[in-house]
């Protein structure tokens, strides 16, 4: 795992607050602390991606095919975000590029919802 890019955004903030030392003490090693911080970074971005999709899919809540599409899309977006981070992109750039990679998803979601409703 490459934590070099993470060091600036997350560890830099934690070092200033003295929290990194607490995490290292609690976990027993710097490696474990990095692993926890790496997980937290992706957890936060996964939440951000889920919140974005919740907004896009909100008008179609309860439509089964749309819910399935949302679940699949979230998984794909999480994978894309991880790929961009592995390429060295910062959090915000990776998030923006991840969202941009799906294009105008709202029209696709509307079409799936309409098709699903017509088949019910």
In the 8-state DSSP scheme, what is residue 2? -
Q: Mean pLDDT of all residues in the chain?
A: 75
- Interval 48-85: pLDDT, tens: 898 889 888 888 888 888 888 888 999 999 999 989 98
69's CB contacts (< 8 A; 6+ apart) are 109, 112
107's CB contacts (< 8 A; 6+ apart) are none
Which residue carries 């029209």 as its tokens? 107
Q: What percent of the chain has pLDDT over 70?
A: 62
């Amino acid at each position: 795992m490459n934590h070099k890019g993470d060091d600036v955004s997350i560890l830099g903030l934690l070092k200033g607050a003295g929290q990194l030392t607490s995490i290292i003490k609690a976990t027993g090693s710097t490696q474990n602390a990095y692993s926890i911080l790496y997980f937290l970074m992706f957890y936060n971005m996964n939440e951000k991606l889920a919140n974005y999709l919740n907004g896009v899919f909100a008008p179609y809540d309860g439509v089964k095919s749309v819910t399935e599409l949302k679940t699949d899309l979230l998984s794909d977006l999480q994978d894309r975000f991880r790929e961009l981070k592995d390429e060295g992109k910062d959090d915000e750039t990776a998030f923006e590029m991840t969202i941009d990679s799906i294009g105008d998803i709202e029209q696709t979601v509307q079409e799936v919802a309409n098709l699903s409703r017509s088949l019910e």
